[in-house]
Structure 1
Amino acid sequence: MRKPSGLERLYVDFDSFFASAEQHLQPRLRGRPVGVIPIASEHTGLIAASREAKALGIKRGTFVRDARRLCPALILVTARHELYVNLHRAIIAAIETVLPVKAVCSIDEMVCALLPSEQTEAVTVAQRVKAAITSEIGPTLTCSMGLGPNELLAKIAAEMEKPDGLVALHPDSLPGPLLSLSLSDVPGIAKGNAARLARAGIADMAALWRIQPKELRRLWGSVEGERLWMGLHGYAVERPETQRRMFGHGRVLPADWRHLGGAYACARMLLAKAASRMRRAGFSARALALWLTDRQSAGWYAEERFQPTWDDPSLLASLAGLFRHAERELPRGPSRSVHVTLHDLVPLKDIEEDLFGDTPEAQVRRRLESLSVLVDRLNTHHGRRLLHWGPWTHIPGGYAGAKIAFNRIPDAEDF
């Protein structure tokens, strides 16, 4: 395992990105407490809070009613995901006037690799990146930056001095700067893993540093524990490329849609968007899953399995069958949200044609597949949902499907 001797990675982490993006896009919001909500509803939680709102105790996940109590002057803005994606692309372009972006970690986090000649002046290079963002985008969107021998330590460094900070964790200084952190400051140590460490007598960073890599692997129950140890100790850790496992969307239902009819109309839209994404990525699915949840996130689940399928009419027919099943088992209907997922994926290039496949059913299936691709192309060309299969009802309250997730940035076609 290679152990770098210099600062090989620069991690860029934007501060309160969604809220800062709204302040950037709407100058009237600058300097004022702003909360971004996923849908236009008073019965939801914030997905972002500006630094002015954070100073008043409002944070991501705070319910609207609690946020208003903490700050009656709070300005609520419904998330505008397509604008954030456009801004993200402009940020990437600004960074790449100085350094190429090695990997995009999320909508507001990216990592750059420094060449040996750049590592000797890493702090200066990072300052040039900050200046490029200010020049190309503007001063409202600030970012915290971290420098380290690997991505994990660079990410930890970026979190150490927020907002608008710049911290370098040089391998020669370890573990010194890390010892003042809590275990929860380390990416990957959530409540479950923290509890597991505590049971093993590991309650602080000093104890975590002393543990052996194989022991941390045993406590984690996977190789991720050993990778965490290697990262913290300054080794270069290369992760295997992840494989796509599913395409799906979920939506909190508006108050007057919290019945099976409303959930079905919403699920049709979510499934159509997920299926379009799946086709663009070159996959078909062998299973469709449906969740209908209540306020406690419990609820009803079912799935249907089939031969590799990627056309809209067939997938929508399977969804209709799942809802007929829900009608029998869930008479009162959902009370909160609906989720659909296409999984057990098969690359389209790996699907073998049936030797006896020239049947009327096979001909219909191929025709539906061709029509689904044609609908995708027309909708993309016109930039809107021009054609669709069956009813397409507008859902009040904001976006359906085209949302930014932590590990997914929507394509332009998703909107």
Structure 2
Amino acid sequence: MVNEYNHETPLVMHIDLNSCFASIEQQSRPRLRGHPVVIVNRATEHTGIVAASYEAKALGIEALMKLRDVRRLVPDVVAIESDPAKYKYVYHKLLAIMQDYSAHVTMKSIDEGIIDFHQAPASIQQRGLETLGYEIKQRLAQEVGVAMRCNVGISTNRFLAKTAAGLHKPDGLDIITPDNLHRVLGDLKLTSLNGIAWRNEARLQAVGIYTPLDFLAASEETLRQIVFKSINGTKWHQRLRGWEVDDVPTKMGRVGRQYVLERFDLTHQEILQRLHHLCESVGWRLRKQGLAARGVYVYAKSAAGYWHACRVMALPFFSNKAIYELAKQLFSEAPSSIKEIGVHCYELTNDEMSQLGLFADEIAHERAVTIASDDINERYGERTIVSADTIDTGIYVSQKIPFGSTRYM
């Protein structure tokens, strides 16, 4: 298999919703269709753009631009605050459609997912993935809305399927096989390949690999021993040839949230309230995954630069109260003139371990109260039960769009 291409029938499909969040808003508000739309997490001039419609992109608007700069560039742009509830609804609709074709579905983010057809029923496989891809596009328009479009990529592994899904946006469908692999890679840059950013590009160029075709032609030994100096070189050699090396579960390393302050003249106590709100959100996310943590990391960005502090405990913890108490202690050394704050839990472990210790009765009581609060919030809505200290912070610290993760969907 070292130098051979994977000639099996392509049975991996990558689906990528086009301009997902902006398209959802255009679907729910028909008058926005055909107009430049941007999505922000907070409607202030200093906030960054998190998503843009294709109409906005055509006018030069890109994600991460400041809203004030966007308005200068396109005065009639429509800025909309993100609405995670809508995006979750569409996420679950897309997931349900995908699961109709195979039990092996992996959502890579809120707006893209993979269907592995290797173990799908023969009656499904025999229809052909190209036919199924067009059917999924049609179902998306019928079951979610006509403003919703997606790209479909098909190949023998996840990497090439994702590459195919990015070839002709919006609304494209492409298939990569050994027969057209060289032609497809010949039209791309190294940084067009998922997983090759500027650092890996520099490594490749250092040994004379300047294009994806050069990358494909490189020997496994060169990639493993000289470029990546690890097993990753072997994986890239196989990945480019259509062999699957990415079908592995990923382990969570940390759970966190950050917040850019709505004003930069808040008092220390007001900042602590917002930190407390973040700790509640992190605690819920932690427990949602059945995890506890041993470490807390807090940071602040100020006029003086980046400040952080962290602490690792002997025993795991999981409650909002425990997370905030540790974060509050650490934050006592934070600088003034703060613009952004964040908190992360790390050293994650299964939450059964959090029952250890000399204070088992107290921990068990805290756990029971925490779980009961989570159950109520799950049933009646986020933040139905919160700390009195953060009861008014929800108007500022709203739930963010969960880019890059579907763990909390």
1:311 and 2:314 matched: no
For residues 51 and 238 of structure 1, do their structure 2 counterparts lie closer, same or farther at Cα, with a shift above 3 Å needed? closer
Give the CA deviation at 1:132. Answer: 1.3
Residues 246, 345 of structure 1: 8 Å contact kept = yes
**Alignment partner, residue 49 of structure 2:** 46
Are 1:148 and 1:169, in contact at CA under 8 Å, matched by a contact in 2?
yes
AA at the equivalent of 1:39? R
Q: Does residue 253 of the first structure (1) align with residue 261 of the second (2)? A: yes
| 2:375 alignment partner, SS class | helix
Give the match for residue 273 of structure 1.
Answer: 281
Counterpart pick for 1:404 among 395, 402, 405? 402
Instruction: Say if 1:257 and 1:302 are closer, same or farther in 2 by CA, change over 3 A.
Output: same
Alignment of 1:364-403 (within 5 A): 364-395=362-393, 399-403=397-401
Q: 2:392 corresponds to which letter in structure 1?
A: H
Match of 2:142 in 1: 135
**Is contact 1:147-1:154 (8 Å) kept?**
yes
Deviation at 1:366, TM superposition (A): 2.7
Residue aligning to 1:79: 82
Is this contact kept in 1: 2:262–2:396, CA < 8 A?
A: no
From 160, 166, 171, the counterpart of 2:167: 160
Between 303-312 and 378-387, the greater mean CA deviation after superposition: 378-387
CA distance in structure 2 between the aligned counterparts of 1:121 and 1:390, rounded to whole angstroms: 57
Change (3 A) 1:399 1:162: farther
1:94-149 deviation line (CA, Å, top 9, x unaligned): 33445556211111111112357626732112111111111111210100111111
What CA distance in whole angstroms lies between the structure 1 residues aligned with 2:371 and 2:349? Answer: 17
Pick the aligned partner of 1:189 from 196, 201, 204: 196
Q: TM-score, with normalisation over the residues of structure 2?
A: 0.90
> Which residue type is aligned with residue 165 of structure 1?
G
1:114 corresponds in structure 2 to 117
The match for 1:207 among 202, 214, 220 is 214
Q: Which amino acid aligns with 1:342?
A: C
**Is this contact kept in 2: 1:149–1:171, CA < 8 A?**
no
Asked whether 1:9 is paired with 2:12, we answer yes
User: Bigger shift: 231-240 or 279-288?
Assistant: 231-240
CA distance in structure 1 between the aligned counterparts of 2:150 and 2:66, rounded to whole angstroms? 26
Deviations along 1:247-271, one digit per CA (max 9) or x if unpaired, are: 1111111125655333311110111
Q: Which amino acid aligns with 1:341?
A: H
Q: More displaced, 49-58 or 164-173?
A: 164-173
Whole-angstrom CA distance in 1 between matches of 2:355 and 2:74: 60
Within the alignment, does 1:302 sit opposite 2:305 as a pair? no
| Amino acid in structure 2 at the alignment position of 1:386 | T
Instruction: Give the CA RMSD over aligned residues.
Output: 2.3
Query: In the aligned structure 2, how far is the partner of 1:119 from the partner of 1:214?
Result: 39
The separation in 2 between residues aligned to 1:240 and 1:275, in whole angstroms, is 26
How high is the sequence identity, in percent, across the aligned residues? 26
Rounded Cα–Cα distance in structure 2 between residues aligned with 1:282 and 1:100: 23
Relative to the length of structure 1, the TM-score reads: 0.89
* Range 401-410 or range 193-202, more displaced: 401-410
Aligned partner of 1:185: which letter?
A: S
Aligned residues: 400
- Which amino acid letter does the alignment assign opposite residue 179 of structure 2? D
| Residues 163 and 193 in structure 2, CA contact (< 8 A), matched pair in contact too | yes
Extract unaligned runs of 5+ from structure 1.
none
Does residue 235 (structure 1) correspond to residue 239 (structure 2)? The answer is: no
Distance 2:303 2:221 in 1: 41
